Amino acid sequence: MMPDNWTYIVEEPRRSELLREWGVPETIISLGSGNVPDEVFAFNCQKPKHVFSDADTSEKALVVGIFESHYDEAFACRKQGDGVEYIYFNVKRPADIEVWGASHQCLLRALFDEIVDGQQYQRDDITRAAKTIGFEYLPDTYAFIFGERKQTLYGDRRRDMKAYHRRRLEYIRGTYRPGLADPGI
């Protein structure tokens, strides 16, 4: 749960400095730099721009924007103990924060879930982009998305969006790994 007293840091150079100080990998920081490492990221990885608080951040919990999508989705992180916690919220509903996990791979699972599911790019292009930032779970992403589509079309998951959201969050957090036995994957 996000405390009521928080601010969303998006201004440079403070944004990048905090991300580096917190140990966020440079490949992740680059996604919100405005100079993405591959065109596949262009739609989903825009410079963070929305601000939800005033300039006085001395007594507030900091949430640092990593990137925002064209759908007003904010991919961010906050300090949590000795590390960071990667989170998501829609800028139109900033109180509805979803915690993804402490690994940058959780953030990348969520990002590639959007990229693969969006069907805007060819598989070879997505594979190339995944390699540029060290994403380790692209086969799992395809298995998850194709498995969910198959169950939606032919199985019993036609109307249970809450269950789908729970499975997606478990996949992003790394607590659920889809089977890779399907030859169509």
Convert the pLDDT of each residue in 30-62 to its tens digit. Answer: 999 888 899 999 999 999 987 765 555 555 688
Confidence of residue 185 (pLDDT cuts 50, 70, 90): very low
Q: What is the pLDDT of residue 74?
A: 93
Confidence of residue 6 (pLDDT cuts 50, 70, 90): confident
Q: What is the pLDDT of residue 183?
A: 43
β-partners of residue 68 are 46, 74
State how far the Cα of 18 lies from the Cα of 40, in Å rounded to an integer: 26
State how far the Cα of 41 lies from the Cα of 1, in Å rounded to an integer: 29
Beta-carbon count within 10 A of 163 CB: 11
Report the pLDDT averaged over residues 178-184.
56
Residue type for position 154: Y
Q: What is the pLDDT of residue 106?
A: 95
State how far the Cα of 63 lies from the Cα of 76, in Å rounded to an integer: 7
Report the pLDDT averaged over residues 151-158.
62
pLDDT at 144 over 70: yes
Could you tell me the two tokens for 60? Answer: 């507030």
Lowest-confidence region among 1-5, 82-86, 94-98, 174-178 = 1-5
pLDDT at 68 over 70: yes
pLDDT at 129 over 90: yes
What is the pTM assigned to this prediction? 0.86
More confident residue, 19 or 81: 19
Q: Which of 2, 12, 92 is nearest to 48 (CA)?
A: 12
More confident residue, 179 or 96: 96
Judge whether 74 and 106 are in contact, CB under 8 Å: no
Tell me the three state secondary structure of residue 134.
Answer: coil
> Which residues are CB-neighbours of 113 under 8 A, at least 6 positions away?
141, 144, 145, 168, 171, 172
Could you tell me the two tokens for 66? Answer: 């990593």
> Which residues are CB-neighbours of 94 under 8 A, at least 6 positions away?
8, 52, 74
